[in-house]
Structure 1
């Protein structure tokens, strides 16, 4: 009788639209999440690659709020906070998959928002675009090179954020609100609402949603005496809006326009000074940022009978304005050019010390815009009675512009010189100075325009020797041109540069795979694929301020361009379901050979970086994902990955990259990560309820190739998350704890000039969420 009541409660909850966790006991089988990894919707167990698919419901239930959370629950995905001048903040992290990590040059992981490619390069510590987890059907993580179907920039893999589509049949509203308190910090809150409106039943529907979030801070700004100037400075506010239409004028034609808008406003970066008491930051200049993404697109799907045509036209624009604290290097760098009276110069020592102590900012105004067009034609799914072949063919074009404007004022520098009766335009005081070298105290100005155009044709064919065995052959041919024009001025630019550079790239990226469905529940596969990344141009490196660093590397000027790099990946894996679908096991082994790696060469004296091709590397390891339902209502899961990524020669040393010797570990790649999760759904009277707990481990890694750097060794760490909830008709209530053990390991600690910075997982937060569906 109790079992019948339990089933009845769950059935009622499903009918009333309760959240996903209250419905999961309806089936004892593990849910199959269809994916579009191969540009068509299909069962991932039949796809010859390593894929993790996390549903939007799972993201919400487990309170996975951003990409950094995702890297802890998905095998062999990691992130590195950008460590250039000014440290890190939202929108500056680089994402790595399977050890293919590089903070220099083009991206190594492709990012897609639906059909919109939003991949950007590593320009001026501008990291990956990170769409918020809002109104998502699922997130797909495709490991291994995806160059055949997704092009350059996906050499390590691709992450796809797949939004929910408008429903042509049912009108629906969903809401979600959340509030929590962070230990030692301020409150967090989030709220969203999504509405689905069938305007013409079975023909036209509108889906519209909006979200606001506030992430509280836990770092305080202090002065030299330790007095608090501002509390919780690393607060973040973000807003999202998504509008999507689905028009189906006939049974065979669907037109889907959509617009996505996202704004992330950070009051400061999440770094604190390790020389100070914990979670304190002493800085002369705050480091806020404002990151706005606007992405309209339209996708047309046409069932032509024998094949399906898909055409996607997309545009995105990213405006990313940020401030970095330049006091530790702009002011100090300028002071080193002054020669004291004691050393035969004309600058009093007091002036030199005063210049070194002046506050300075780096104002970066970044804008990226891209228009892209993809057209592809795909055969119908395999049918032994029709043909042993399935195929897909397409063409892609993208034109991306990136504009960066930099201004580096040293506040009060002209007035300070005047106090000593001197001028910043006097070459006897500042060697090489000219009049108006410091307009409005600005020590450096730069304008950079990058343009990247690429076109490609691609295709993939599958031949079924038998219904259980098929081979896949795919390829992409790509041509691209990357250009840079630049204009630098003011004193710290040296002689300045009005030049630029151009780099042309061509690539043929094949893929081969063999898949054997041993039976309907067990599949084994092997694949070989090539990955590719575009080359590019370097910004001007002034020889006046960087001459000693360049000379130490055996060159008089930084190279104007850097070449493409590429890799070959070899993989073997299995995807199995046991116990009537109540247990799934996916596992794979991989080996990657990476050639001519794009790496950043850091010049420590002048704080400039240029890109060079420096050496080769190998990456090898494995991943596994296990999920089971040993009893009704109980779901257990475990996943993990191991990767050993290291340089395979000493070529990087010859290019001036300290520590780039054979056997050196690739930066930012944890040796392992793993996660376990348990969820139990049950009934309390007539109501559905659940309890859930999860634990994640991230292994040690290296943040730098140089053993003398503070971020050389990053320690392992772990987190624990707990939650419980109950449904009340159309509403569900959840209480949760993130980072329940308050893990406070310093997971990254780069040095910016003379300041060693610390980053940690957000402190423990305890909160409550309320969701509804009606």
Structure 2
């Protein structure tokens, strides 16, 4: 059972960036021709408007640290998924768990500013347009990872966003904003790409987007399709080193997006949309640390299929003095995956056998044979959510009308998560019989009974999580002067979470059929002061509270976990864990200088996090439960600089430093090894930085070209709180990318190289039972692309 073996690995920014190098840049932004090459002579830096405060605004006027990356910039920098995004966004990282975690799509969790926890609820909210696709840190899956397909921009909002985005936005919020249908322009765009990975397979991608006005200025349809393959580079080998399968970590995905925009009258806009995505991973990207680079020895392959469906209807009504918005959403995720359970299911079973060496009846040869059997963990996950949000917002500030602006709303959601798990140990019954024993004999296997291993299945579980939220929220701005305004926002939230579970068979101990629940309430205020020193420079300060809901634990069998529980001073695993919260304090500045040819954004923050939800690992029985254990602080700085010193040349640099550490020993008292005051929070690099330079130049006639280079640095981090774990120390590393291309009237061609110097740093090396796995930076890949717009 995966939960029992969760050796939490914090898959930091380092692993995220490495996964990024595996991915094929899908160039999902359907701009066709990169807008940067179209405006090679422009000398001003692009301003990307944001909806961080639920209305379109200039990010320089918003009192928070925001990274807003346009679709054109995503395309130019080959950013096409979460992992790529960490290369260009300061203080953003990932956390994963063993097995498929971090090495397979759909298994990582996101953190911002060091707010990292692989247990309990998510710490960062994720939105696709107006649809919340945030899921909890259950042991079977991570955050939803929408592809950057037909995207207008990505907004990364750092710091607590509980006032406007609710629970689980305590570290920040990430918003993927798709392109809306255009009521005027009829347009088709396409993209194709081919690349090769050193030591690996070929990769390819293609997509097509059409924007079709159906009724002039009233009705338009936008539809897009995409498909891509990321070639693998890990080979499966047997005990003699013979290659059994090549490039096993290949990933295929396909997607569809349809949106209709209807404006029956001037004041009313209705936008129904649908996004569908399926990601098929043939295996994970982990290898055995003791083997040559990129080789994995495993008894069971670990494929997964992750399907996402998000229909939404957004209605916007201009009421004159205010704007009313309704967003009605449905979100469904189906995530089926297989894990190699041989290292812990078979091994755990072998440890329960009574050896003849200890006066028992099981011969050592039987124990060794059981420990060597292949085992799989079959996980079938489904998340379904219905949500509704209403909000009413005043018009933007106008000194001649009122010194006040405001926004208010209500939000409701109902999320169901169903998990079915089966853990067969293949050949277990025949192995007992081969040695002349029965797997139902308690004399050789304590606690055994008839039917304990039906069809070799050692564990069967069914888990139904339900989470309901209801909240009201609002934000009020008062302009003391046209240049100085104060903000007060607040959200009152009530959440109920329940877990109905049923599990049985031998590895479930005596089995269990139970239900538990937890209710949480929160008042999450925000205070901010914004001073527009002049039209080009803004200073701000803010204080905000973040919050995430409590929840229920999977049953921990006292029959097999009794000694571990007793060591932690308890008789049974706790049925529930409580909510946790934090306060964030931030000061920042945003400047546009030299006629917007130089921009500089900086922020300094301090976060105090209380009652953290953490996973408590029981080493003997290999179960895990969640508990509230300890407090932490996170402090740091982040910056983003862009400059156009001469026409055509764009320089950028970004980076962050964060010191996130526990502030007391409460976690250690709750059984979390290494959770002492001063311990660095898992998976949080102390720094990250990126630089990029692009030069656009005229060629002949109306043709143009560009060359671009970028480098990324990721600091050292801790993969575990326990200094004795193999993944405790993770090294710093860097990568370098280059690209070049030409633009014609309706055509854009480019070549690129990712990880140009073929860095092969082992960025993490977790241990699962007796196996030490490793993840390296993906090998160098070289490719070319062709985009057309017509």
Task: Calculate the TM-score normalised by the size of structure 2.
Answer: 0.95
Report the equivalent of 2:555: 540
Report the equivalent of 2:323: 308
Q: Which of 89, 102, 112 matches 1:74?
A: 89
Alpha-carbon distance between aligned partners in 1 of 2:515 and 2:770, rounded to the nearest angstrom: 32
Please state if 1:222 is matched with 2:237: yes
Report the equivalent of 2:754: 738
Alpha-carbon distance between aligned partners in 2 of 1:125 and 1:644, rounded to the nearest angstrom: 29
What runs of 5+ residues in structure 1 fail to find an aligned partner? 1-15
Report the equivalent of 2:734: 718
List aligned pairs for 1:455-494, cutoff 5 A: 455-494=470-509
* Change in CA separation of 1:136 and 1:611 when aligned onto 2, cut-off 3 Å: same
- Find the residue that maps to 2:350 and give its secondary structure: helix
- Find the residue that maps to 1:499 and give its secondary structure: strand
Measured after TM superposition, the shift of residue 132 of structure 1 is: 0.4
- Find the residue that maps to 2:562 and give its secondary structure: helix
Q: 2:236·2:296 contact (CA, 8 Å) conserved in 1?
A: yes
Report the equivalent of 1:528: 543
Q: Which of 154, 159, 162 matches 1:139?
A: 154
Q: Which of 568, 577, 580 matches 2:583?
A: 568
* Change in CA separation of 1:294 and 1:17 when aligned onto 2, cut-off 3 Å: closer
Q: Which of 614, 621, 642 matches 2:629?
A: 614
Measured after TM superposition, the shift of residue 68 of structure 1 is: 1.1
Q: Which of 338, 348, 366 matches 1:323?
A: 338
Q: 1:173·1:196 contact (CA, 8 Å) conserved in 2?
A: yes
Q: Deviations over 1:146-199 (max 9, x none)?
A: 000000000000000000000000100111111110010001111000000000
Report the equivalent of 2:10: none
Alpha-carbon distance between aligned partners in 2 of 1:55 and 1:721, rounded to the nearest angstrom: 20
Q: 1:82·1:125 contact (CA, 8 Å) conserved in 2?
A: no
Measured after TM superposition, the shift of residue 86 of structure 1 is: 7.2
- Find the residue that maps to 1:352 and give its secondary structure: helix
Identify the range of structure 1 (718-727 vs 543-552) with the bigger mean alpha-carbon deviation: 543-552
- Find the residue that maps to 1:656 and give its secondary structure: coil
Q: Which of 579, 584, 595 matches 1:580?
A: 595
- Find the residue that maps to 1:240 and give its secondary structure: strand
Q: 2:95·2:102 contact (CA, 8 Å) conserved in 1?
A: no
Q: 1:617·1:648 contact (CA, 8 Å) conserved in 2?
A: yes
List aligned pairs for 1:255-404, cutoff 5 A: 255-404=270-419
What runs of 5+ residues in structure 2 fail to find an aligned partner? 1-30
Alpha-carbon distance between aligned partners in 1 of 2:782 and 2:458, rounded to the nearest angstrom: 46
Task: Calculate the TM-score normalised by the size of structure 1.
Answer: 0.97
Alpha-carbon distance between aligned partners in 2 of 1:388 and 1:341, rounded to the nearest angstrom: 84
Alpha-carbon distance between aligned partners in 2 of 1:250 and 1:569, rounded to the nearest angstrom: 43
Alpha-carbon distance between aligned partners in 2 of 1:512 and 1:87, rounded to the nearest angstrom: 36
Q: 2:100·2:302 contact (CA, 8 Å) conserved in 1?
A: no
Please state if 1:644 is matched with 2:659: yes
Q: Deviations over 1:697-730 (max 9, x none)?
A: 1111111100011111111111111000001221
RMSD of aligned Cα (Å): 1.1
List aligned pairs for 1:159-170, cutoff 5 A: 159-170=174-185
Measured after TM superposition, the shift of residue 278 of structure 1 is: 1.2
Measured after TM superposition, the shift of residue 244 of structure 1 is: 0.4
List aligned pairs for 1:208-219, cutoff 5 A: 208-219=223-234
Alpha-carbon distance between aligned partners in 1 of 2:103 and 2:781, rounded to the nearest angstrom: 22
Q: Which of 451, 466, 471 matches 1:451?
A: 466
Q: 1:568·1:594 contact (CA, 8 Å) conserved in 2?
A: yes
Report the equivalent of 2:199: 184
- Find the residue that maps to 1:351 and give its secondary structure: helix
Please state if 1:25 is matched with 2:40: yes
Report the equivalent of 1:762: 778
Measured after TM superposition, the shift of residue 329 of structure 1 is: 0.8
Q: Deviations over 1:611-640 (max 9, x none)?
A: 000000000001100101000111111111
Report the equivalent of 1:707: 723
Alpha-carbon distance between aligned partners in 1 of 2:716 and 2:405, rounded to the nearest angstrom: 44
Identify the range of structure 1 (423-432 vs 179-188) with the bigger mean alpha-carbon deviation: 423-432
Q: Which of 703, 709, 712 matches 1:696?
A: 712
Identify the range of structure 1 (237-246 vs 537-546) with the bigger mean alpha-carbon deviation: 537-546
Q: Which of 746, 752, 766 matches 2:768?
A: 752
Q: 1:82·1:88 contact (CA, 8 Å) conserved in 2?
A: no
